[in-house]
């Protein structure tokens, strides 16, 4: 049992990394990776929302929608995630203004993050139970955070590198992301 | 079909109640965002952005009424900083609001000044010293170079003078290296 | 790199016996000191023309005390210290003030700065000199006289010495370190000064020690200067107070204040702090000498020892009056005043913008290079992440990180990585196998950060002033409203005529200003023959008629357009 949970976690973090293998959540991956500090803040916010979001989404799809109303999944998930994000934002603003300030604009941005919607949908697809759903969400979030922070550190270094002029900016960032993705494909045989 | 409607309606209602309640419960007074935007703006108070000062412009940005590229004194760096803060795309300065100029200070030609106090009233940072019917002068260290005093002067005795580079404010340049052709001798050897 | 590691091992073993410690990093560039130490210090007679910049020290520009045409005596005050962080400027010889204007100064910017030009009268006549009885006067008086005598750190930093010599109750100075390490290649002015004037230096040290009330006093001299060390030891033995002489290992930059403090006391100056905060104060030997000259002879700082070396006929040390043109000095030493002269050493010095700049208080060395001496470095190659620079950095920084952040202008990160602890010693550049001019990047980033900070400070002041103004306007409006309400209750006011009167007054003043402006503009029609004058008068009347018609039109148009623009 524990072994299975561990496999789900490792599988989502490394083997099926949500950004590099599943290619979800690319907008924050490219957009919020210019600075290490903001990427860490974004990673923290996404981790929280993903985990809570996949938990609540499981509850909704399992207890509210059932099999008859399956076509409402996407719609209701969006609503619930938006609600969760909004609530988190208000809660943070009141309780921890410092964290709220450092997250700033990224918190509302998570609402429109496809990784956050993708994980609950994948959860439903693969018939995960509640704990598995939570772990799947957490694993996806850890994978996202790890890759985002790594990528931001790389991009900070890229700023100082002698990049040929046509490759400067987004071009070299895309190439770097591609190389990272290639590297992560190496994890494919990790779980046997 | 109706069930679906009820479910969505119920969800929406529930979330609405929860969010509405928490909006009241977690209400925060004041807007820290305005202060942070204001901290980035150069505080020239020149009004080139179309607002009567830096703070009003900051409030307009925070509300989403104004764009981030309306501040020529802040320059490109200022737009970048605002874009970073607000998490929006950088855009080049809007030329409608003027172009960035080298930082200047106002200088009053004291032989021509008639002491009308119009410039004193125009100065947003009280950097002009004088009294009615007495010669005025600019406190150069406090002048932000906003040019607001130039237009009201009835005798056109105020000019903007760019701050000259001196050993006190001189900056080291970014190291740039010339690319020189390889000396002919070594090339021959290489061949 | 192995060589460096082995050497530092060697040094550590050697230090084990002496009780000294060592700092990390450092390099061993070729010394080249012998060239300039073979002959004694040569005094230089004052030249015919001296240029004295008012900014020869760290801090505020000195305040002028003389005017063009004044006759001054040698040692007379020309510019007074302005505020605490400032130092005075004195006449190095007697003569007349020829000009006070912007002159090229020895500064890497190559920009001119306000300077006094003094034409010597050749008499070299001193003002009345009064030795100070320093034990009889209060410490504050003594410090003030140091400030008024223009005593600054002569090691090159030119920080006003009276500030460092102030006793601070919070941070009592336990150890006074006199820096005679002179680690930079080619420079030997401190070496020669110690060899020849050891007793005078020790007199100066005694005064410094008295001012700071320091318990321990150490003179640090690198062990490549045995003669200087011996001379200082002999002079110290004659002193009434205990002064130690420590021979520190020769490693560049062992003469950096923080490095020397580490070697002698074993204490490390924390990042962003001053040595005085850990109870240490450090002065150059030449500064001690100038304190002695002031106190025991009543002479302000008007000359300094300058090493002139490199591609010159008589390399050596010269006692040069401040303000002498470097061109003259180099020619005196038998060299050619080529445009590539270097002021300071090869590691930390800079290329002079021209040979026609004066010797200032910071001028410790002039190197006349030839192409063989400092060949042009090969082009910089990309950083290969070898971290040799980190091994060589005496400030325990990460030069490679600083380089990347400076290069990409990531200034916040550069600051976070403590770029301001960089002493710009050039060790990283020296060891870099890719020939990257690292220090140039740091200098760029530092001055950029400083400029940013200044702009932010100015913005904060402007914000405060603007807010205050808005508040004031609001208050005035309320007061006016109150008054109006009161008046309305009483009688009707006669505001309109008053307003008109004001407008009329402004219009009259405008006319007056115009007339004044017209008067001020010079005319080329003065002093001409009466016939021509009559003709001009006729033309003028015609022009006036035409203009009167057109200007009224233009004026109204202009007014309209400005109003539209508003």
The half-sphere exposure of C510 on its side-chain side, counting CA atoms within 13 A, is 11
Q: Could you tell me which chain C residue has the CA closest to the CA of A155?
A: C408
Residue C252 contacts A where some CB pair is shorter than 8 Å = no
Chain C hits for B166, CB-CB cut-off 8 Å, are: 111, 113
Q: In terms of CA atoms, which chain A residue is nearest residue B29?
A: A94
Q: How far is B27 from chain C (nearest CA, A)?
A: 27
Domain covering C1-30+130-298 in this structure, CATH number: 3.40.50.11540
Q: Does B113 touch chain C (CB under 8 A)?
A: yes
Question: A155 to chain C nearest CA, in Å?
Answer: 11
Interhelix angle C198-212/C226-238, rounded to 10 degrees, is: 60
Q: For residue C516, give the nearest of B114, A39, B59 by alpha carbon.
A: B114
Q: In the numeric block, which tokens belong to residue B60?
A: 């307009």
Residues of B in contact with A69 (CB under 8 A): 3-4, 7
C-alpha–C-alpha distance, residues C151 and A71, integer Å: 86
Q: What pLDDT was estimated at residue A76?
A: 87
Write out the E strands in chain B.
104-108, 128-129, 137-138, 158-162
- Would residue A179 count as lying in a domain? no
Q: Residue C503: how many CB atoms within 10 A of its CB?
A: 10
Class of domain B101-164: alpha beta
Give C220's strand partners.
C179, C246
Question: Which residues in chain B are closer than 8 Å to C380, comparing Cβ atoms?
Answer: 177
Please say whether the beta carbons of C565 and B152 come within 8 A: no
Nearest of C361, C333, C362 to residue C350 by alpha carbon: C362
Distances (CA, A) of A143 to A12, A19, A29, A154, B15: 7, 8, 12, 16, 29
Q: Which domain holds residue A77?
A: 28-157
Residue C166 near residue C235 (C-beta atoms within 8 A): no
Instruction: Enumerate residues 6+ apart whose C-beta is below 8 A from A186.
Output: none
Q: How far apart are CA C8 and CA C403, in angstroms?
A: 25
Chain C touching partners, 3 or more CB pairs below 8 A: A, B
C520 in contact with chain B, both atoms CB, cutoff 8 A: yes
How far lies C40's CA from each of C317, C330, C506, in Å?
Answer: 7, 17, 74
Does the beta carbon of A179 lie under 8 angstroms from any beta carbon of chain B?
Answer: no
Contact yes or no for B167 and C113 at CB 8 A: yes
Q: Where are the domains of chain C?
A: 1-30+130-298, 48-127+306-367, 377-486
Closest chain C C-alpha to A187 CA, distance in angstroms: 28
Contact list in A for residue C404 (CB cut-off 8 A) is 157, 159-160
C211: Cβ contacts below 8 Å, ≥ 6 apart? C139, C142, C143, C165, C167
Calpha distance A102→A100 (Å, rounded): 6
Instruction: Write out pLDDT tens, residues A42-81.
Output: 888 888 888 888 888 898 888 888 778 888 888 888 888 8
Q: Which of C309, C286, C293 is nearest to C156 (CA)?
A: C286
Instruction: Please report whether residue A14 resides in a domain.
Output: no
Task: State the pTM of this model.
Answer: 0.80
The single residue listed with the structure tokens 């700082």 is C301
Output the six-digit token pair for C144: 């003030």
Walking along chain B (191 residues) 10 residues at a time, the average pLDDT comes out as: 85 90 79 82 88 89 87 88 81 85 88 88 89 86 88 90 87 81 59 52
- Distance from C-alpha of C5 to C-alpha of C214, rounded to nearest angstrom: 36
Q: Hey, are the CB atoms on A104 and B4 less than 8 Å from each other? A: no
Biggest CA-to-CA distance, chain C: 100
Dist CA A29 CA C491 (whole Å): 73
Contacting C residues, span 11-70, partner chain B, CB-CB under 8 Å: 55, 61
- Please give the DSSP secondary-structure letter assigned to residue A15: I
* Minimum-distance CB partner of B44 among C109, C462, C470: C462
* Residue of C287, C336, C286, C288 whose CA lies nearest to C308: C336
How many whole angstroms separate alpha carbon B155 and alpha carbon B171? 37
C182 dihedral zone (left: phi>0; alpha: psi -120 to 50; beta): left
In this complex, the residue of C382, C403, C410 whose CB is nearest that of residue A159 is C410
Q: Enumerate residues 6+ apart whose C-beta is below 8 A from A68.
A: B3
Predicted pLDDT of residue C536: 64
Q: Are the Cβ atoms of C108 and B173 closer than 8 angstroms?
A: no
* Residue of B130, B4, C528 lying closest to A65 (CA atoms): B4
Q: Which of A179, A166, A81, A174 is nearest to A121 (CA)?
A: A81
Class assignment of domain C377-486? mainly alpha
C105 touches chain B (CB under 8 A): yes
Instruction: Round to whole Å and give the CA distance between C162 and B23.
Output: 61
Specify the pLDDT at position C564.
Answer: 46
Q: Cβ of C453: how many Cβ atoms within 10 Å? A: 11
Which of B115, B127, B171 faces C447 most closely, judged by CB atoms? Answer: B171
Work out how many domains chain A is built from and give that number.
1
- Cα separation of C26 and C30, whole Å? 13
A157 contact residues in C (CB cutoff 8 A): 404
Q: SS3 for A99?
A: helix
Rounded CA-CA distance A111/A94 in Å is: 20
Q: Rounded mean pLDDT of chain B?
A: 85
What does the alpha-carbon distance between residue C326 and residue C343 come to, in Å, rounded to a whole number? 10
Q: Determine, for residues C403 and A162 on separate chains, whether the beta-carbon distance falls below 8 Å.
A: no
d(C-alpha C472, C-alpha C466), whole Å: 10
Per-residue pLDDT for chain C (566 aa), expressed as one digit of tens each? 445 555 556 666 555 566 788 888 899 999 899 989 999 999 999 999 999 999 888 888 899 999 999 999 999 999 999 888 899 999 999 999 999 999 999 999 889 999 999 999 988 899 998 898 888 889 999 999 999 999 999 988 889 999 999 888 888 899 999 999 999 999 999 999 999 999 999 999 999 999 998 889 999 999 999 999 999 999 999 888 899 999 999 998 999 999 999 999 999 999 988 898 999 999 999 999 999 999 999 999 999 999 999 989 999 999 999 999 999 999 999 988 888 899 999 999 999 999 999 999 999 999 999 888 888 888 888 889 899 999 999 999 999 999 999 988 889 889 999 999 999 999 999 999 999 999 999 999 999 999 999 989 999 999 999 999 999 999 999 999 999 998 888 765 455 555 677 778 778 878 887 777 766 655 555 555 666 666 666 766 766 666 665 555 545 444 444 444 44
CA distances from C525 to B58, B161, C532, C540, C549 (A): 57, 32, 9, 11, 24
Rounded-to-integer distance, Cα B11 and Cα A82, Å: 12
Q: Which chains touch A (3 or more CB pairs under 8 A)?
A: B, C
Distance CA A87, CA A158 (A): 37
Q: Token pair 């307003």 is at which residue?
A: C499
Residuewise pLDDT in 10s, chain A (192 residues) = 788 888 888 888 998 898 998 888 888 888 888 888 888 888 888 888 888 888 888 988 888 887 788 888 888 888 888 888 888 888 878 877 777 776 667 777 787 788 888 998 888 888 888 999 999 999 999 999 999 999 999 998 888 787 888 998 889 999 999 999 999 998 888 766
Tell me chain A's radius of gyration from C-alpha atoms. 17
Residue C492: burial class (beta carbons within 10 Å; 0-12, 13-18, 19+) = exposed
Q: Residue B161's closest CA among B120, B103, B74? A: B103
For A148, residues 6+ apart whose C-beta sits below 8 A from its C-beta are: A19, A28, A29, A32, A33, A39, A42, A43, A46
Min distance B11 CA to chain A CA atoms (Å)? 8
β-bridge partners, C180:
C221
Domain map (residue ranges) of chain B: 32-97, 101-164
CB atoms near residue C312 (< 10 Å): 21
Asked if C327 and C97 count as a contact pair (C-beta separation under 8 A), the reply is no
CATH topology of domain B32-97: 3-methyladenine DNA Glycosylase II; Chain A, domain 3 (1.10.15)
**Residues of A25-45 as b/e, b for ≥16 C-beta within 10 angstroms?**
beebbbbbbebeebbbbbbbb
CB C563 within 8 A of CB B151: no
Q: What are phi and psi of C230, to 5 degrees?
A: -65, -45
Q: How far is C509 from chain B (nearest CA, A)?
A: 6
User: With an 8 Å Cβ cutoff, is A159 touching chain C?
Assistant: yes
Rounded Cα distance, C536 and C526, in Å: 10
Tell me the C-alpha distance between B55 and B33, whole Å: 11
By C-alpha distance, which of C31, C333, C28 is closest to C187? C31
Q: Give yes or no for A151 touching B (CB within 8 A).
A: no
The residue of chain B nearest to residue C562, with distances taken between CA atoms, is B151
3-state SS string over C163-220? HHCCCCCCCCCCEEEEEECCCCCCCCHHHHHHHHCHHHHHHHHHHHHHHHCCCEEEEE
For chain A, positions 80-99, list CB contacts with chain B under 8 A. Answer: 80, 83, 86-87, 90-91, 93-95, 97
CB-based contact B172 C108, cutoff 8 Å: yes
- Listed residue (B57, B34, B60) closest to B44, CA to CA: B57
Q: How far apart are CA A19 and CA A25, in angstroms?
A: 6
* CA–CA gap between residue A1 and residue C242 (Å, rounded): 79
DSSP symbols for C64-128: E---TT-EE-BT-EEEE--SSS---EE-SSSEEEEEEEEEE-SSTT--EEEEEEEEE-S--PBPP
Q: What is the ipTM of this complex?
A: 0.81
Strand partners, B137: B129
- What is the number of H-type helices and E-type strands within chain C? 16, 17
Residues of B in contact with A106 (CB under 8 A): 87
Coil, strand or helix: which one is C27?
Answer: strand
Contacts of C514 in chain B (CB under 8 A): 155
Q: Which of residues 34-63 of B touch C (CB under 8 A)?
A: 38, 41-45, 53-55
Does the beta-carbon distance from A76 to B22 stay under 8 Å?
no
Neighbours of B21 (CB within 10 A): 11
């Amino acid at each position: 049992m524990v072994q299975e949970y561990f496999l789900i976690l490792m599988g989502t973090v490394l083997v099926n990394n949500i950004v590099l293998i599943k290619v979800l959540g690319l907008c924050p991956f490219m957009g919020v990776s210019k600075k290490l500090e903001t990427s860490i803040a974004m990673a923290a916010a996404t981790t929280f929302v993903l985990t809570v979001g996949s938990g609540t989404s499981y509850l909704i799809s399992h207890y509210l929608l059932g099999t008859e109303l399956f076509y409402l999944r996407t719609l209701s998930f969006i609503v619930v995630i938006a609600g969760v994000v909004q609530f988190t934002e208000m809660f943070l603003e009141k309780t921890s203004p410092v964290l709220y300030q450092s997250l700033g604009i990224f918190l509302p941005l998570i609402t429109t993050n496809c990784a956050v919607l993708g994980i609950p949908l994948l959860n439903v697809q693969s018939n995960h139970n509640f704990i598995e759903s939570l772990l799947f969400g957490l694993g996806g979030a850890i994978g996202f955070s790890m890759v985002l922070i790594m990528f931001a550190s790389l991009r900070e270094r890229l700023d100082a590198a002698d990049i040929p002029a046509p490759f400067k900016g987004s071009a070299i960032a895309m190439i770097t992301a591609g190389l990272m993705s290639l590297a992560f494909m190496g994890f494919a045989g990790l779980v046997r | 079909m109706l069930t679906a409607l009820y479910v969505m309606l119920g969800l929406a209602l529930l979330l609405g109640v929860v969010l509405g309640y928490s909006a009241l419960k977690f209400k925060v007074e004041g807007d820290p965002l305005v202060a942070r935007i204001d901290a980035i703006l150069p505080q020239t108070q020149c009004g080139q952005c179309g607002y009567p000062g830096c703070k009003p412009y900051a409030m307009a940005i925070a509300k989403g009424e104004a764009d981030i590229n309306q501040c020529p004194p802040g320059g490109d760096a200022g737009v970048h900083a605002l874009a970073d803060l607000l998490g929006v795309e950088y855009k080049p300065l809007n030329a409608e609001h003027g172009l960035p100029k080298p930082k200047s200070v106002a200088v009053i030609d004291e032989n021509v000044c008639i002491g009308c106090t119009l410039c004193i009233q125009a100065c947003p940072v009280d950097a002009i010293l004088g009294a009615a019917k007495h010669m005025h002068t600019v406190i150069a260290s406090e002048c932000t170079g906003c040019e607001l005093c130039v237009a009201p002067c009835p005798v056109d005795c105020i000019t903007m003078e760019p701050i000259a580079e001196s050993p006190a404010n001189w900056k080291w340049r970014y190291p740039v290296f010339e690319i020189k052709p390889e000396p002919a001798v070594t090339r021959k050897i290489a061949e | 790199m192995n060589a460096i590691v082995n050497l530092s091992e060697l040094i550590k073993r050697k230090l084990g016996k002496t009780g000294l410690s060592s700092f990390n990093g450092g390099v061993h560039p070729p010394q080249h000191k012998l060239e300039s130490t073979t002959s004694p210090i040569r005094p230089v007679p004052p030249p015919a023309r001296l240029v004295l910049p008012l900014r020869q020290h760290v801090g505020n520009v000195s305040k002028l005390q003389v005017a063009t045409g004044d006759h001054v005596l040698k040692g007379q005050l020309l510019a007074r210290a302005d505020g605490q962080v400032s130092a005075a400027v004195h006449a190095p010889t007697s003569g007349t003030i020829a000009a006070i204007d912007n002159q090229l100064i020895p500064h890497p910017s190559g920009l001119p700065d306000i300077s006094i030009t003094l034409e010597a009268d050749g008499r070299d006549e001193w003002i009345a000199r009064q030795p100070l009885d320093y034990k009889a006067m209060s410490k504050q008086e003594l410090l003030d006289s140091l400030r008024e005598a223009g005593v600054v750190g002569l090691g090159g930093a030119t920080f006003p010495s009276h500030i460092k010599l102030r006793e601070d109750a919070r941070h009592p100075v336990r150890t006074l370190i006199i820096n005679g390490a002179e680690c930079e290649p080619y420079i030997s002015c401190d070496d020669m000064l110690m060899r020849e004037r050891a007793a005078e230096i020790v007199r100066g040290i005694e005064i410094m020690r008295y001012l700071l009330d320091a318990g321990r006093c150490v003179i640090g001299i690198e062990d490549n200067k045995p003669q200087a060390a011996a001379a200082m030891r002999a002079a110290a033995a004659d002193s009434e107070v205990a002064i130690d002489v420590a021979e520190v290992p020769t490693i560049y930059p062992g003469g950096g204040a923080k490095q020397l403090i580490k070697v002698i006391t074993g204490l490390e100056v924390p990042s962003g702090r001053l040595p005085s905060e850990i109870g240490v104060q450090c002065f150059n030997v030449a500064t001690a000498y100038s304190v002695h000259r002031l106190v025991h002879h009543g002479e302000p700082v008007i000359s300094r020892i300058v090493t002139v070396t490199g591609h010159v006929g008589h390399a050596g040390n010269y006692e040069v009056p401040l303000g002498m043109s470097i061109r003259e000095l180099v020619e005196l030493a038998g060299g050619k005043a080529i445009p590539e002269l270097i002021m300071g050493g090869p590691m930390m010095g800079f290329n002079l913008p021209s040979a026609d700049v004066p010797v200032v208080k910071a001028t410790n060395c002039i190197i006349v290079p030839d192409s063989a001496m400092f060949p042009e470095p090969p082009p910089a190659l990309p950083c290969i992440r070898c971290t040799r620079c980190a091994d060589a950095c005496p400030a325990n920084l990460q030069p490679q990180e600083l380089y990347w952040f400076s290069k990409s202008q990531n200034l916040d990160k550069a600051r976070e990585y403590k770029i301001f602890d960089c002493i710009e010693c050039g060790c990283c550049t020296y060891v870099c196998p890719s020939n990257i001019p690292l220090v140039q990047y740091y200098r760029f980033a530092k001055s950029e950060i400083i400029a940013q900070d200044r702009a932010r400070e100015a913005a904060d002041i402007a914000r405060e002033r603007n807010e205050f103004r808005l508040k004031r306007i609001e208050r005035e409006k309320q007061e006016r409203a109150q008054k109006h309400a009161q008046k309305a209750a009483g009688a009707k006011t006669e505001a309109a005529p008053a307003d008109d009167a004001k407008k009329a007054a402004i219009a009259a003043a405008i006319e007056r200003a115009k007339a004044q402006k017209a008067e001020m503009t010079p005319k080329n029609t003065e002093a001409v023959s009466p016939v021509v004058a009559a003709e001009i008068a006729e033309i003028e009347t015609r022009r006036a008629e035409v203009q009167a018609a057109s200007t009224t039109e233009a004026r109204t148009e202009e007014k309209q357009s400005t109003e539209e623009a508003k």
